[in-house]
Amino acid sequence: MATLLHLDSAVFSEGSMSREVTAAFVTTWREQHPDGEVVYRDLAAEPLPHLDATAVAAGATDTLRGELAAELAAADAVLIGAPMYNFSIPSTLKAWLDQVIIVGHNAGIEGPVAGTPVTVVASRGGSYAPGTPREDFEFVQNYLEKVLSGMLGLEVDFIVPELTLARSKPEMAELIPLADASRTQAFAEAAEKAKALAARLAA
């Protein structure tokens, strides 16, 4: 029985592209693992506290940090919804990372959670792909790749729905076809990656 740890961090519960794509991933995952478990945290609806000196000193013995670290350790796979806000990740997701990464307990590229596959849905209102004018403003994928793989040794994969604001901003109207194509691709990748991951874990 496989366990998926699912985190959402978009501030809006409706109309969020990252939430829609993670939901599609979970639907396919459940179809492949009808007896499996999905552990869900909505970091926007129930935000975690910022890390403080007491929690840092306590490490894994801190009740919350210990609980979060245990959830991560028990997961066979992780799914993270990470929309871009002000060129970076939501503060609620950063709080989860700060709480769950515990030096001397689970941090390290050869640590106890190393090798766990993580799928990140990194949605964004514009495009920050290589070759675009704002390529050097991309701090979501760059940061999460480094912190998840470099600090925890996780195996990171991305789904990147772009141009999600094209239908709501008149100045982006000409980009609607590209936005629609990106949306379609994101949902296709969610189903494909969920199936591939399920097959891999079942092997």
113: domain range? Answer: 3-202
CA gap 73, 27 in Å, rounded? 23
What is the tally of structural domains in the chain?
1
* pLDDT at residue 201 in the model: 86
Q: CATH code at 14?
A: 3.40.50.360
Pairing of strands 155-159, 77-81: unpaired
Residue of 200 and 65 predicted with greater confidence: 65
Residue 44 above 80 pLDDT? yes
CA gap 124, 84 in Å, rounded? 5
Helix and strand numbers, DSSP H then E, in the chain: 7, 5
HSE of 4 in the Cβ direction (CA atoms, 13 Å)? 30
pTM comes to 0.95
Rg value, the chain, Cα: 17
Q: Which residues contact 98 (CB under 8 A, 6 or more apart)?
A: 50, 51
Confidence band (pLDDT; 50, 70, 90) for 72? very high
CA gap 29, 196 in Å, rounded? 10
Helix (H) or strand (E) holding 77, with range, is strand 77-81
pLDDT tens figures, 104-160: 999 988 889 999 999 999 999 999 999 999 999 999 999 999 999 999 999 999 999
Q: For residue 138, which of 127, 128, 126, 149 has the smallest C-alpha distance?
A: 128
